[in-house]
Amino acid sequence: MTPEPQPETPKPATSAKAPAHAKEQPKMPLAYRVYGLACIVLGIFTLFAVAMFAALMTWALQTDPSMIIVGTDPTLPVVLLVISCVITFVDAVALIVFGRMLRRGSKRNAARVSHVLIATSVIQILLKIMLQGIDVTLIPDAIQLALLVAVSVTVDPSLRKERELKRRVQDMVEREAAEEGMLGRDLEGKGYIELNFFNLFWVFVICCFLGLIIETVYHFVVVVPGEIQDRAGLLFGPFSPIYGFGAVLMTVALNRFYKANPVIIFLVSAVIGGLFEAATAWFMEMGFGAVAWDYSGSTIFGLFPDPIAVIFGGRTSALFMCMWGVLGFVWIKLCLPWMLKLINLIPWKVRYSFTTLCAALMLVNGVMTLEALDCWFERLSGIPQTTPVEQFYADHYDNDYMAHRFESMTITPDDSARVDGAGRAALETDEQILEEAADATFESDAA
C-alpha cells in the first residue's frame, strides 16, 4: 500500500521582519538626554583637570616637595587631598558612563550608575568640608547630589518595582522563619547563624559593649585593684572595637564549627584573637605612635619570659591569647544563641531601618575617632592645626580631653612610622629664623 502523503508543515518565515511596534522602546525624555550631555561634558572636563593636577603634583615632587605641603602639615590634609583626587577621578569616569546611558536610553543601567555617583558625591562633599569648611563651593556639589537622587528614583520605575518584589519575598521568608523560631539562623544548615550584615553588625556592637565591661572589671580587680579606668576605644559611647571585630572574626571562622570539639574552638579563638590584637596594636603604633597595652615584661608562671610576648614585641601574650580562646568558646557555645534572641527583639517594622541608622552612627564614630587620634598625634608632634577639620578637633577634642577619654593610651610621635619630617623641618626652620631675627635685633639695639 502506498502511504498517504502527509500535509506539509508550514515553516516559519525567518526573513519576516518583526512588527514595528515590537522594536519601539519608550524614548528617554529630552530633559534626561540634555542632562546626560551635561554629565559627559563635565566628566571630560574633570578628567582633564585631574590629569593636570596629577602632572603638577609629579612635577612638584621632583623639583620641590615643600610646594605640595598643605600649610605645615604633610599628613592628614595631604591624605584627604589624595583621596579626594581618587574619588574625583572615579566620579568623572562614572559621569561619562552615566551620561552615555542617559543619551542611549538605557534606563536600568543609568539608575545603577547613579547610585555610584550619589556615593562619590557624598564623599566629595565630606572631604571638601574637612579640607575647606562649609562655604559656597559646596553649592554645585549639593545641586549635583539632588539631581542624581531625583534621577535615580524616576529614571527606571521597573527597577524600583523589582526591588520591592524581592523585599516582599525576603520578608515572607523571614516571617516564616520567625514563626518557626529560626529567625537569624542559617536555614541551609551550614552554620549556626546566617552571616548577613544585620547579624554581624549586632554581633560587633554587643561585643564592643561586653568587651569593654570585661576589660574594665579585669583592670579594677586584677591590674590595679580598686581603680576604675576608662577603657573605651571610640570617641563616643561605651565601646571597645577590638572586641567587636574579634567577635565578628570568630563568628565567621567558627560558625560552621559551633558543634566541633571544644579544644578546636579554643585554639582557633586564641589564634584569631591574639593575631588580631597584635595587628591592631601594630597599626596604632605605626600610624599614630599610640600604645594602649604592652605585655613586654610578661612571663610564664614567673619562671621565664613569655615567648609569645617576645615574638610580637609585647603586643599580645600567651595569657591573653588563652583569654581570647576562653572568650571565643564562651561566645560560640553560650552567648551566640542568647545574642540571636536579643537582636530578634528589635520590632519587625523598624528592624532594618534602625540597624542602618545605628550602622551609620557607628561609622561616623569610628571615622571621627581616627581623625581625633590623628590630630592628637599632630599636636603632640608640634604641627600647627591649619585646616578647618584640624581646628575643629583642636577646639572640641584637645589633648586633655583625649588623654582623659583614652586613659590607657599614650602617644609617642617618634615611635610611629609616619613621615612628618617636612612639618618638623618647617617648624625648626621657622624657629631658626625667629632666633636669628631676635639676635639681629639685639645686636642692633646694642649698637
Give yes or no: residues 215 and 338 share one domain.
yes
Are 377 and 348 in the same domain? no
* Residue 174 domain flag: no
What's the pLDDT at 238? 93
Contact present, 344 and 336 (Cβ < 8 Å): no
Amino acid 23 reads K
Model pLDDT, residue 16: 46
The residue from 358, 382, 412 where one domain ends is 358
Q: Is residue 227 part of a domain?
A: yes
Asked whether residue 209 falls in the same domain as residue 325, the answer is yes
Q: Are residues 331 and 398 in the same domain?
A: no
pLDDT of residue 410: 87
Query: Is position 308 within any domain?
Result: yes
User: In 3D, which of 133, 126, 134 has the Cα closest to residue 391?
Assistant: 133
Residue 354 lies in a domain: yes
Number of domains the chain contains: 3
Same domain, 140 and 41: yes
Q: Is residue 203 part of a domain?
A: yes
Question: 219 lies in a domain?
Answer: yes
pLDDT at 165: 66
C-alpha distances (whole Å) from 152 to each of 108, 111, 145 are: 9, 5, 11
pLDDT given at position 60: 74
Q: Which of 358, 373, 388 is the last residue of a domain?
A: 358
Residue 312 belongs to domain spanning: 186-358
Supply the pLDDT for residue 73: 47
> Quick check: is 20 in a domain?
no
Are 124 and 204 contained in the same domain? no
Same-domain pairing of 314 and 381: no
Residue 140 and residue 84 share a domain: yes
338 with 376, same domain?
no
Q: For residues 298 and 412, state if they share a domain.
A: no
In a domain, 7, yes or no: no
Whether 256 and 148 map to the same domain: the answer is no
Please list the pLDDT of the chain residue by residue as tens digits (447 residues): 455 555 555 554 444 444 444 444 557 788 888 988 999 999 999 999 989 988 887 787 677 666 555 444 455 567 777 888 899 999 999 999 999 988 888 877 888 888 889 989 988 888 876 666 556 787 888 898 888 888 887 776 665 565 566 666 666 655 665 555 555 555 565 667 888 888 899 999 999 999 999 999 988 998 888 888 888 899 999 999 989 998 898 888 888 877 788 899 999 999 998 999 999 888 888 777 888 888 888 888 888 888 999 999 899 999 999 999 998 898 888 888 888 888 888 887 788 889 999 999 999 999 899 889 888 988 888 888 888 888 899 999 999 999 999 988 888 887 776 544 444 444 455 555 556 655 655 555 555
74 and 151 in a common domain: yes
